Amino acid sequence: MKYCNNCNVDIVGKRKLCPLCQGRLTGDKVQDEVFPRISFAYKEHSTFLKITLLISIIIASISLAVNILLPQRGAWSLFILGGLGSVWASILTAINKRKNIPKNIVYQVMTISAIVLIWDILMGWKGWSINYVIPFVCAFAMISMATISKIRKLHIEDYILYVIIDGLFGIVPIIFIIFGFLDVLYPSLICIVTSVISLSTIIIFEDKRLIAEIKRRLHL
């Protein structure tokens, strides 16, 4: 244990200076820190984030430079910058919600859906966002959750959240169809069928555990 002659206190840990007066500590014996080290998500993925950031800067810089040299083709570099921003929004969402896979997937779907809607509006609203992208993203999210649930063997509490998410992902395309927002139906129909199959699989094979958990939550 180290000692501060100025403050007359013992200091635990590997400090060289006193945390109170910043004076040099005496003593040779080193003990473990009192407080545990906290690992931050961004530190855990720092190498990946740094490489991705460098690649993003390179792509953005080259795109802007080429666009300035060829202005007659329009401001196409803005779309590349928007795409890079979309990728970063998705990455940051994944890191922030990494501990809860179902919630992570929901936030990813919400982020991607919001981004493609904004893009579609900025490009003059062609409807491709709700005709194709959102239904396919929802279908892919449900397939991903089904695969992850089998690999990770989720708890029954996660399955309940999984059922709610599947239901919502299946309802969204139905709303689009009912209100006549769609020009192309097959992507939304694929999404609805995926939702029905996924829900049916959970209800058929996890029925007892689901019922027991619902009763427990409702105190029945």
Per-residue pLDDT of the chain (220 residues; tens, 9 = 90+): 677 888 887 777 677 788 778 788 777 655 555 555 555 555 666 787 888 889 989 988 998 898 888 887 777 788 788 778 767 776 776 666 666 677 777 887 888 888 889 888 988 888 989 999 899 888 888 887 777 666 666 666 667 777 888 888 889 899 989 999 899 999 999 999 999 998 888 778 777 777 777 777 776 6
Domain count, the chain: 3
Q: Give this prediction's pTM.
A: 0.61
Q: How many residues does the chain have?
A: 220
133-166 burial, b at 16+ Cβ within 10 Å, e below that, comes to bbbebbbbbbeebbebbeeeebeeebbbbbbebb
Burial (CB count within 10 angstroms: exposed 0-12, middle 13-18, buried 19+), residue 36: exposed
> Is there a single domain that holds both residue 122 and residue 185?
yes
> Is there a single domain that holds both residue 138 and residue 151?
yes
> Is there a single domain that holds both residue 187 and residue 109?
yes
> Is there a single domain that holds both residue 154 and residue 195?
yes
* Domain boundaries, position 70: 38-96
Amino acid at 7: C
Q: In this structure, what token pair is assigned to residue 201?
A: 């699989």
> Is there a single domain that holds both residue 23 and residue 120?
no
The CA-based angle 45-96-36, given to 5 degrees, is 65
H-type helices in 153-185, by residue range?
156-178
CA distance linking residue 60 with residue 54, whole number of Å: 10
Contact between 14 and 23 under an 8 Å Cβ cutoff? The reply is no
> Is there a single domain that holds both residue 123 and residue 22?
no
CA distance linking residue 145 with residue 148, whole number of Å: 5
